[in-house]
Amino acid sequence: MQENRAEVLVGAAVLAVAIGFGAYALQFAGLRTGAQGYDLTASFRSAEGISTGTDVRLAGVKIGQITDMALNPATYRADVTLTFADGIAIPNDSAVAIASEGILGDNFVEIVPGGSLDNFAPGEEIEDTQGAVSLISLLLKFVTGEGESE
């Protein structure tokens, strides 16, 4: 009987640790249930390096994430839905760019705020976009000397 009690206690401890780890992982990933926000859309020529769940940052601070990505068959561009936290107002002349944390870092979507006094309304499109820059193509241009003037 003593052996069963020890097994139950060890099992309960393992289950508690697993639940705690799961809660921490959800909080760390920013996937809190019931989170409120609003959506804006953007269309990129190249959305290389980003996917659903990628951070959206303003001044280095996470203010949202990508919640949907799809190829637009009419324009051959990547249509992206960005979800922002409530209370974050984005000026309607802002730009959005795919940036990198460094050579080996992850990519994220950066909001470059404009100076307009008017803000985007939920569901509007950010038209000023800059897609991902391919490191391979930049290295090839450097190595081959393409684009240099003589």
The predicted-structure confidence for 23-34, as pLDDT tens digits, reads as follows 777 666 554 444
Residues 4 and 41 in one domain: no
Q: What tokens were used for 103?
A: 């050579």
Q: Give how many domains the chain has, as a whole number.
A: 2
In sequence order, the β-bridge partners of residue 108 are 99
Q: Do 30 and 43 lie in a common domain? A: no
Between the alpha carbon of residue 5 and those of residues 9, 11, 17, 109, 135, the distances in Å are 6, 10, 19, 52, 59
Would 147 be classed as within a structural domain? Answer: no
Residue 23 lies in a domain: yes
Whether residue 128 lies inside any domain: the answer is yes
Long-range contacts of residues 12-15, Cβ cutoff 8 Å, at least 24 apart: none
- Reading the block at residue 99, the tokens are 């940036």
Same domain, 66 and 92: yes
Q: What is the pTM of this model?
A: 0.65
Residues 45, 84: one domain?
A: yes
Q: Which residue has the higher pLDDT, 3 or 37?
A: 37
Residue count (the chain): 150
108-147 pLDDT, tens per residue?
999 999 888 999 989 989 888 887 776 677 777 878 876 5
Say whether both 22 and 68 belong to one domain.
Answer: no
Domain extent for 54:
37-141
For the residues 54-68, what does the mean pLDDT come to? 91
